[in-house]
Amino acid sequence: MSSKQQRKKIGGEHLQRIIDLCTSIEEKGLDPFLVDVEDILDVVREYFPEWELPEELSLDAETIHRLASVIKLQSDWVKHRSTSLYTDPFLLEEKIRKLTKVELATLFLEVWHPIVEFEQISPHSLTEAIKYWQSLLPIDERWLQIDPQKREAGTVTREELIRQRILAEKTFSEDLEAFWNELKEKVGENEKILYWDFVGANSYDETIQRAYLTSFLITYGYATLEIDRLEEEIFIKPYEEPVSMLGKKQVVSIPVSISNEEWMKWKRGLQN
């Protein structure tokens, strides 16, 4: 295959991924701002001079059409927020912090509408109470004397408690620290590693366990995720020291599928 044909093949794959991404946003109602319009336009401009055949030009036109649909969704999102008196929660928080105690108490009293409930004993409730007490057994029958069994106190070793799974051999923090060091060793001089190349293991159960620990690495600030939406790849990037995310930025949950099918696909990729 010539270099020109190879470039056209790569360009076509790029455009198809863009079309799939835009279609997914339209059909699933995802956030339209996940698409970086300027980056996609740069990709379209880069490969446009390569197209010669009608099907290649048709693919280019469909890409522009899908991108235009996403831009319309972005426009509709902005119009909806501007006409529905939407206020960013961080702006509200800033306004509340600037209020004095008196102003805050006054606002609370203006919007406070307590619910008042009136209860009283009715003939029906008295009848039900009498039926309940009459149905109870006498106290001497309810409080039967039970001789407690006497047992001698004994001792148990830590190894026995670990064997019976009452105590863990290592604490969770120790496991997490060791897992973090493993991530940094695998990354080495590189800044990051593919998600599946790190969490993937020989068995599916072990893969689930590694994905579980990885989620805590990211939550506790030991590492972060980087997503390449065009290439549809997820990377893990470890930090040299744990980073606290508290108060710095809004935490976003990123779901990653760890199904048995995804694991089998990753295993086949290693074998090839």
Q: Where in the chain is the domain with CATH 1.10.10.580?
A: 172-271
pLDDT beyond 80 at 45: yes
CA distance 31 to 4: 36
CA distance 264 to 249: 36
Confirm if 258 and 208 have CB atoms less than 8 A apart: yes
pLDDT digits (tens, 9 = 90+) for 65-107: 888 888 888 888 777 766 656 666 777 788 888 889 899 888 8
Neighbours of 32 (CB within 10 A): 20
pLDDT recorded at residue 151: 62
pLDDT beyond 60 at 1: no
Least confident of 15-29, 96-110, 185-199, 246-260: 246-260
Confirm if 79 and 71 have CB atoms less than 8 A apart: no
pLDDT recorded at residue 5: 79
> 78 or 131, which is more confident?
131
Percent of the chain with pLDDT strictly greater than 90: 0
CA distance 233 to 249: 23
The confidence band for 189, taking pLDDT boundaries of 50, 70 and 90, is: confident
pLDDT digits (tens, 9 = 90+) for 5-24: 788 888 888 888 888 888 88
CA distance 263 to 272: 14
Distance of CA 185 to the CA centre of its chain: 25
Mean pLDDT of 156-182: 69
Highest-pLDDT range among 108-112, 118-122, 171-175 = 108-112
The confidence band for 165, taking pLDDT boundaries of 50, 70 and 90, is: low
The answer to whether the Cα torsion of 129, 134, 139, 143 is positive or negative is negative
pLDDT beyond 70 at 157: no
pLDDT beyond 70 at 147: no
pLDDT recorded at residue 190: 79
**Angle 168-169-173 from CA coordinates, rounded to 5°:** 75
pLDDT beyond 50 at 183: yes
The DSSP element (H or E) to which 59 belongs, if any, is helix 54-83
Neighbours of 73 (CB within 10 A): 19
pLDDT recorded at residue 66: 85
pLDDT recorded at residue 155: 66
Query: What CATH class has 172-271?
Result: mainly alpha
The edge-to-edge listing of strands for the beta sheet with 223-228 is 193-194, 233-238, 223-228
Tokens of 47: 């490969």
Q: What torsion do the CA atoms of 61, 232, 266, 194 make, to the nearest 10 degrees?
A: 150
